[in-house]
Amino acid sequence: MKGIFITGTDTDVGKTWVSEKLIVFLVSQGVNVMPRKPVESGWPDDKTLSDAWKLASAASKTKQLTQICPNRFKAALSPDRAAILENKIILINDLKEQCLQSVAENQFLYVEGAGGYYSPICSDGLNKDLAVALGLPIILVVKDRLGCINQTLLTLEAIEKSKLELLAIVLNKTNSADVVGMDNLADLRTHCNIPVISIAYNQQDSKPFERLSMLSP
């Protein structure tokens, strides 16, 4: 089965924004994308403000929202802690089955994790454990800010230990990336042998997403 698992060096690094744009581009190229956000905490009263809705909308599959995100929790905490507060238990195997449900071999499975690669995602595992269970190649999103090189290299080491393929590093350039003299793109390319693709937040240029899609299996 073709697909990718998108994760980050931390929470709030722009995974969903990158996912939206990449899914839209893949769909424009005729790819039948099946998005999955198997668990989301901090679920809003207005579902259209959720990350899962954004992924569903990008793939034109909002009617499948329940299947795209079957586990939703109110507290804006790690999913495992948010689930505990609602007296619920979810397991890695549950998330794996939910991600794979109703996905055909000719479709493209797009799974977005929650938080960073080593962030807890359920009662018995981390995002890393779900990625391993699915066996999908990874795209890593990094927020372009001071300190991100350390976070990125640590996450690369963790992915290597998981024996999963890392397709690309996406450097998400936000307004915070204005430190004089900082050039994380050049520095990451020096320290990594993985493609590093810079994307300016809210940019309209589709070329970076085209590059990402070319790296996707």
Residue 37 is a catalytic residue: yes
- Rounded to whole angstroms, the Cα distance separating 172 from 15 reads 9
Neighbours of 187 (CB within 10 A): 14
- Rounded to whole angstroms, the Cα distance separating 191 from 186 reads 9
Q: Could you tell me the two tokens for 21? A: 């744009």
Q: Is 136 exposed, middle or buried (0-12, 13-18, 19+ CB in 10 A)?
A: buried
How many CA atoms lie within 13 Å of 110's alpha carbon, on the beta-carbon side?
A: 27
The catalytically annotated residue of 21, 37, 61, 128 is 37
Among 142, 137, 136, 174, CA closest to 155: 142
Residue pair 168/35 in contact by the 8 Å Cβ criterion = no
Catalytic residues: 37
